[in-house]
Structure 1
Amino acid sequence: MRQHLRLALPLLSDLTSDTNIAFVLVGRDGRAARSGQLPLAELGAEAGALAVCAILHPDDAVVADITVPPVSNRRLGTAVAGSIEPMALSDVSQLCVAHSARAADGNVTVAWSARLPLVKAWALLAEAGLNIAAFIPQSLALPADDPAPAEPLGLPAGPRWLAPLPSWSLAQDELRPLSAKGQWRKPIYWSAAAVVVWAAGLNWYAAQLANEVESLQQGMQSTVVQAFPHIPVVIDPVRQAQRQLDAQRLAHGAAAEDDFMPLVLATAKVLDFAQSHVRGLHYDKGVLTLTLAEGYVPPGSEAVLAQAAAIHQLQLQKDEDRPHVWHVQRPALAQTKTRRP
């Protein structure tokens, strides 16, 4: 048995925040650990997070034993409601009905109480900070041999307070007040924590990408500065290199002994969609490798792109394993590699 608090409720119609309510704290050993009487408004501080079993006044609930034919568990509630309808003084829809499981002989213990007073009482108890786990009719909370089952529970605490309670009660989830639905708090807290962790991870990943982009841009700027040391400030490495090479070509007819800069400039003209998206540039043995950042718009037709490359004496090839990576070389170099055994 888990530790819990038992309350002896007055008539539900008389319950207010100032009503004095007798209580007994039942320990794990089933004995009374503490008892007393407090106004409802103060009981929340006394109970804390303990589960609270509220025992209804004898006049607030009816308990009966009925016989129900064999039905599925899904239809048992409907069968019980139909069985008690002749016994109830109110329409069944205005009642809160709960019942035990069906025994082998068809016997079912059923209890009912007026729905509206129970809902209002639950709201008052929840407002006081009480974690209501069960509403138990008094006759089901007393020892089987209790000599006065119609007499309300009272202090001092005795054996009448300590009988085993049924596993079912009139505390149905659809009647639970919004302020008492603590089962949503943990999911909300965990969802908020997950959002915080996700945002932190996203910021960290963005910072890593920013660092990588900055490193690549610095590498490209360093390459341009080495090739053209007279450039005071490098802002757009590819465009500035193209302008410098065009100027040197006009003046001298060539920019360097190898094909690096002519290859870069020709590639820039063919892959115009890659402007401002170059993350990496690598040149080795006549092959220029470009790594592009996401966000560029690829050409609509690869055939048109191949024709444009051929006009500038280039051969383009997308990397088969790495997305956004392009290899550019001269057709003559590609043919040489193909013929090599």
Structure 2
Amino acid sequence: MTEYRIPMPNFNLVADVGATNARFALTLSNAPELLHTKVLSCADYPSLEAAVSAYLSSTGALGLITQACIAIAGTVHLAEFSLANNHWRVNKSKVNTVLQVEALWINDFAAQAWAMSEITDADLLSVKQGQAIERGNRLVMGPGTGMGVAGLIAHNKGWLPVMGEGGHVGFAPTNTLQMKILAYMWTSYEHVSTERLLSGSGMMDLYKAVAHVKAMQPDLTSPSDILQQAQLSTPDELAYQTLCIFCDMLGNAVANEALAFGAVGGVYLTGGILPRMQEFLLASDFGRCFSNKGRSSAYLKQIPIYLCIAQQPGLQGAVIALDHKSRRHNVTS
């Protein structure tokens, strides 16, 4: 009697790895829907390969991966690198060994940019009205644990990400209060980047700086506390002022990058923080600060700004990047 075995499915693995969380999902060939999506805390694992192994074991997909794309907040052009805001040192070869395939490695904000290239209106919230140039350059930017910045440029009938390290440019104050905050930050850091103030990792520093400048008592101990307390019906005053200043600074920082990228096709705000403060952001002076650029104000007023409210844009971007790689390979092979 002949024994028939049902063939096991082959999967693609996609990952969106930040400093705080590592998100994983599987897809089937020619099917972009995310399967078995899981979020693992980076603090719970000694290395990325350990987290990948744990995820594959939990889903029963170990040994069944045919392609993989790992989007990660690191210098992915190197064979080995450290993450800026957690304890992991990533060895790409070790991770590839666990996967049993050669993964496509991309910057985490490249994945965000890929996601914005195919984003639908249902996953966008209008932050500022404007008139986008249809095939004009786009800016993708936003605070999570760090500050990510990427561009999108038109290419053939689609888009291509342009990567950089815009979150590490020097912070540029726009008024006396912000100059005092910068002076306070200089007592702790030789170089004060945008990320040092406008990110999850920087929010506590901003909170303490505002407390120092305004001679207020800083009682909160985490960025989550600041976000929560600032948005209460009767908010904590220092948390509220900190988040107001955060929005002012963010408007100016986004405008700087929009000018650098020539983002006449629109600005797309992503990252883990802004979706948690949607109403606060819309009611803030973010838009006014974005457009307040002297001779460049008219240019910036024409640029629309959207907030991404999709659930897993990093994973969706990794799927798109993997599909783009496959189509490019098919064309050249």
TM-score (norm 1): 0.25
* Greater relative contact order, per chain length (Cα 8 Å cut-off, separation 6+): 2
Between structure 1 and structure 2, the one with the greater Rg is 1
TM-score (norm 2): 0.26
